[in-house]
Amino acid sequence: MKRTDRLFDLIQILRDGRLHRASEIAARLAVSERTIWRDMATLMSSGMPVEGERGVGYILRAPITLPPMMLNAQEIEALRLGIRLVAEGADPTLARAARALAAKIASVTPAPPEGDDDLFVFTGHETSRASPHLPIIRKAIKGHERLTITYIDPRGTETHSDIRPLHLSFAGRVYALTAYCEARGDFRDFRVDRLVSVTPTDEVFPQEPGRTLADYRARQALSAAAD
């Protein structure tokens, strides 16, 4: 059995949500326990929500499949276009994920008509400078983790700040980070391409009133209404 086929079979076994011992899985797939250990390590490192260890067993903690759905030609075209933009974008982690997703979609959908692949993405210097920081920022936003940053403002002044990262947006060729700046005691938007360094602190910040993304958006809405 090819390793890719075996990994697929492993996922199917784990989809029932129960704990499975390596010896049980090895017997079902007619391989050694050591092979199962290696394969499980591969699944975990690839981002699959698999938990467990040798001598205990393995379990899938979250669903990894989408419910069946029907897409029309325009919806498939929109999906391919979005994936292509991400795959050729500046964020290396999302780019790899987009390429993997494109391969999965290509295996179950018709090939695009000739000429539909003529899409070019020009990232520019701004996105290239931002790309090393994007995985760290996205992880910190998801985990509510404070970051220490060094930033060059439009006047060329270097500043150092502890921030609560709240939201990452992209407009044109520029990534912007919305954050709550601890030193200023207020919200602030940073251009990611002007960040010199981004350092995780391993410190989780609390969701305090007046310092959340919802508070920031409420303030923006009030400002827009006033205009």
Let me know: does 61 contact 19? Beta carbons within 8 Å: no
Q: Write out the chain's pLDDT in tens, 227 residues.
A: 677 778 888 888 888 888 999 999 999 999 999 999 999 988 888 778 888 888 889 998 876 666 677 778 778 878 887 887 787 776 777 888 888 888 887 777 766 654 455 444 556 677 778 888 988 998 999 899 999 999 998 889 999 999 999 998 887 678 899 999 999 999 999 999 999 999 999 999 999 999 999 999 999 888 887 76
User: Looking at the structure, do residues 117 and 130 belong to the same domain, yes or no?
Assistant: no
Domain of 199, in residue numbers: 126-226
Residue 146 contacts residue 183 (beta carbons within 8 Å): no
Who contacts 49 (Cβ-Cβ below 8 Å, separation ≥6)? 60, 61, 62, 64
**Both 52 and 93 in a single domain?**
no
Which residue, 60, 78, 102, sits at the end of a domain?
60
Pick the last residue of a domain from 60, 80, 102: 60
CA distance 33 to 40: 10
Q: Are residues 42 and 77 in the same domain?
A: no
Name the β-bridge partners of 162.
148
Query: Looking at residue 43, which CATH number applies to its domain?
Result: 1.10.10.10
pTM above 0.85, yes or no: no
Question: What sign does the dihedral 104-105-108-114 (CA atoms) show?
Answer: negative
φ and ψ at residue 84, rounded to 5 degrees: -65, -40
Residues 161 and 212 in one domain: yes
Same domain, 154 and 184: yes
108 and 148 share a domain? no
| Strand (E) or helix (H) holding 171 | strand 158-171
The verdict on 152 and 219 lying in the same domain is: yes
Residue 168: give its domain's CATH number: 2.30.30.520
Q: How many domains does the chain have?
A: 3
Cα(119)–Cα(84) distance, integer angstroms: 8
The reply to whether 140 and 202 lie within a common domain is yes
